[in-house]
Chains A and B, each alone.
Chain A
Amino acid sequence: MLVLVGLWEAVVRLHLAPGGFFFPSFTEVVREFFSLASNGVLGENFLPSLLRVLIGFTAGSLCGFIIGTLMGWKKVAENAFGPVISLLYPIPALGWLPLLMLWIGINELLPIAVIFIACFFPVCYNTITGIKGVDSNYLRAARTLGATEWHTLTYVIIPLALPNIFTGLRLVSGMAWRVIIAAEMVAIPTGIGSLLMQAESLIRVDIIIVCLIILSVMCFVFERFFIYMEHKMTARWR
């Protein structure tokens, strides 16, 4: 990483990059980051994005987990939800944007709804896979030990499905940030995506790079958090 940053700095300072105006040095980008942070522009745009991601991600993942658990656990739920989910899953989250703009309008709910959709399906599918993948012998053992269906679900099935569930959460934790940026770029006047669009119209490449680095770091942090949580919850027995 240090080598890459050094190379970047050297290329710009030695005027080796074509169209130097569009290619600021690393130190210029860092300077701009602190400038944006100190004058409050970064906070004004980052915090709304973070809040939208947290709400949309939590709601979408939770619903995906609940519906996925029901579908993996009960055949009747799989039959009820399966066809609808199979039809809707292939539509990309951003594909819903025009429809949601008409239904919801351009307000705070719009990016949250897009993130909700982006998170719901992968978590749902991974949860179904995890729940269905639990060896039926464990279920039979739990039943003969006197466990009710609910006890079996909460103490056997869900813990054993955790590796799959975390795969889904890890996947969508990064995806939520990618989707919010796209949604804000297209339709919302605040947020990192919106800042990115304003920087583009003002030809402020340094700000664009700051926004992209923030996006990259947030994706990384979210994914690492779920890797850590998965390790904490399953490493002792896997």
Chain B
Amino acid sequence: MPGIELRGVSNFILRNIDLKIHDGEFFVILGPNGAGKTTLLNVIAGLIQYEGSVLFNGTRIDGLPPYRRNIGYVFQDLALFPHLSVLENVAFGLNAQQQSGEASEGRIDRLLHDWGIGNIAHRYIGTLSGGERQKVAIARALATQPQALLLDEPFTNLDRGTSIYLQRETKAIQQKLGITTVCVTHNQREAEEMAGRIAVMYDGAIEQLSRPEDVFFSPGSKRVAEFIGSPNIFPCDTHRRLTRGLAEIRSGDLAIVVPDDGETVRKVAILPRDVYLSKNPIPGPDINRYTGRIDQMTTAMGHTLIWLRIAGHAILAEQPTEVAQRMGLAVGDRVHVALMLKWIKVLSKP
């Protein structure tokens, strides 16, 4: 039985959404701004009007007001109450539902401890860093033991390090609690890191619903492909394990070192923006470093697309136009290329 189910949900933005989110799943809704992602969360939370049905564990909840739906919602701007301390914010839901006593206090203490915010429990929100606020918001949403957790662009306004740390923390705690989670983001990497499944939304409708790697390797429509960014895909001819965690694959004459999870690699891919270019040799070990020639260049919307010819493969790279001009790139130039291991995607499952 799905944890959350939407049947024919429509409103002023959404168009006939049918969606089943499994119990305990970390489900990500990915899409550009204005696609209707937040609206979908608001429908689940009961914060806006809609037609159709929303079911929690098989039971229709359309008639329930938000405060009786038992969901935890982390808003994009967090909406932490500035007049309350961290402790009072986290305990707000329990107090509102008149749940007090030792069990509730114990739960609050555990949450403060799990999220590492016990030491700031008596501080006010205005004095906290972005990362601390994020933790308080998630702890507050989990305090009432909701049956589903909704996250709206939860890591958007954080520096990259904090964002990655919190993504992992969130995922770990979600798995520990086994809570059905719906996370909205426009950040593709964030989606891939966290999602069990991804729904790509566009213009109020779901364009594609699949595993993260399928969204990347097999975009379901032109719009999804455009949003994802048309990766360079290399079919794998041979696969040789190098060390624990690394393997070398060959695609034609091209040797690429990729992350290895022990399974046979079928395809690897890398986005154009993750292809590193230089006119000078790139320092470091000779892994995933190549030389090539620029076949073609086009510029649009502040970005320059550069088609390269490397070992018989056509590879697409993307640079901000300002950077490409500063580098003095031109058709026919010989350039040094690196494929960053960190951003290489591997498709191993059939």
* B47 near A146: Cβ-Cβ < 8 Å: no
Q: B229 → chain A, closest Cβ, in Å?
A: 32
Q: B179 → chain A, closest Cβ, in Å?
A: 15
Within 8 A of B (CB), among A156-177: 156, 159-160, 162
* A140 near B75: Cβ-Cβ < 8 Å: yes
* B72 near A144: Cβ-Cβ < 8 Å: yes
With A138-B81, A140-B47, A155-B96 as known contacts, state yes or no: A148 contacts B73, CB within 8 Å.
no
User: Which B residues lie within 8 Å of A135 (CB)?
Assistant: 79
User: Which A residues lie within 8 Å of B333 (CB)?
Assistant: none
* A143 near B81: Cβ-Cβ < 8 Å: no
User: Which B residues lie within 8 Å of A140 (CB)?
Assistant: 45, 47, 66, 73, 75, 79
B169 on the A face (CB < 8 A): no
Q: A139 → chain B, closest Cβ, in Å?
A: 9
Chain B residue nearest to A141 (CB atoms) is B79
> A142 CA to B89 CA in the complex, in Å?
10
* A146 near B75: Cβ-Cβ < 8 Å: no
Q: How large is the interface on B (under 10, 10 to 19, 20 to 34, 35 or more residues)?
A: 20 to 34
**Contact residue among B65, B79, B124 (Cβ-Cβ distance under 8 Å from A138):** B79
* B47 near A144: Cβ-Cβ < 8 Å: yes
User: Which A residues lie within 8 Å of B96 (CB)?
Assistant: 142, 145-148, 151, 155
A137 on the B face (CB < 8 A): yes
Q: B118 → chain A, closest Cβ, in Å?
A: 20
User: Which B residues lie within 8 Å of A151 (CB)?
Assistant: 96
* B83 near A159: Cβ-Cβ < 8 Å: yes
User: Which B residues lie within 8 Å of A141 (CB)?
Assistant: 73, 75, 79-81
User: Which B residues lie within 8 Å of A137 (CB)?
Assistant: 75, 77, 79
Residue-wise interface mask of B (285-309) relative to A, using a CB-CB cutoff of 8 A (1 in contact, 0 not): 0000000000000000000000000
* A237 near B67: Cβ-Cβ < 8 Å: no
> A142 CA to B140 CA in the complex, in Å?
11
> A159 CA to B88 CA in the complex, in Å?
14
> A175 CA to B317 CA in the complex, in Å?
71
Chain A residue nearest to B88 (CB atoms) is A155
* B79 near A146: Cβ-Cβ < 8 Å: no
* A145 near B45: Cβ-Cβ < 8 Å: no
Q: A136 → chain B, closest Cβ, in Å?
A: 9
> A156 CA to B93 CA in the complex, in Å?
12
B144 on the A face (CB < 8 A): yes
* B140 near A145: Cβ-Cβ < 8 Å: yes
Within 8 A of A (CB), among B79-111: 79-84, 92-93, 95-97
Q: B254 → chain A, closest Cβ, in Å?
A: 50
* B67 near A144: Cβ-Cβ < 8 Å: yes
Q: B325 → chain A, closest Cβ, in Å?
A: 42
Q: B81 → chain A, closest Cβ, in Å?
A: 6
Of the listed residues B47, B67, B84, the one surrounded by the most CB atoms of chain A closer than 10 A to its CB is: B67
* A144 near B124: Cβ-Cβ < 8 Å: no
A236 on the B face (CB < 8 A): yes
B265 on the A face (CB < 8 A): no
> A146 CA to B146 CA in the complex, in Å?
10
User: Which B residues lie within 8 Å of A145 (CB)?
Assistant: 67, 72, 92-93, 96, 140-141, 144
Chain A residue nearest to B65 (CB atoms) is A143
**Contact residue among A138, A144, A160 (Cβ-Cβ distance under 8 Å from B71):** A144
A27 on the B face (CB < 8 A): no
> A231 CA to B69 CA in the complex, in Å?
38
* A147 near B83: Cβ-Cβ < 8 Å: no
> A160 CA to B95 CA in the complex, in Å?
18
Residue-wise interface mask of B (39-72) relative to A, using a CB-CB cutoff of 8 A (1 in contact, 0 not): 0000001010000000000000000011111111
**Contact residue among B67, B73, B124, B126 (Cβ-Cβ distance under 8 Å from A147):** B67
A234 on the B face (CB < 8 A): yes
**Contact residue among B67, B77, B126 (Cβ-Cβ distance under 8 Å from A146):** B67
12 A-B interface contacts by CB (under 8 A): A135-B79, A138-B79, A140-B45, A142-B81, A142-B92, A142-B96, A144-B45, A144-B72, A144-B141, A145-B140, A146-B68, A147-B96
Known: A135-B79, A151-B96. 19 other contacts (CB 8 A): A138-B81, A140-B45, A141-B80, A141-B81, A142-B92, A143-B47, A143-B65, A144-B45, A145-B72, A145-B93, A145-B140, A145-B141, A146-B67, A148-B67, A155-B96, A162-B83, A236-B124, A237-B82, A237-B124
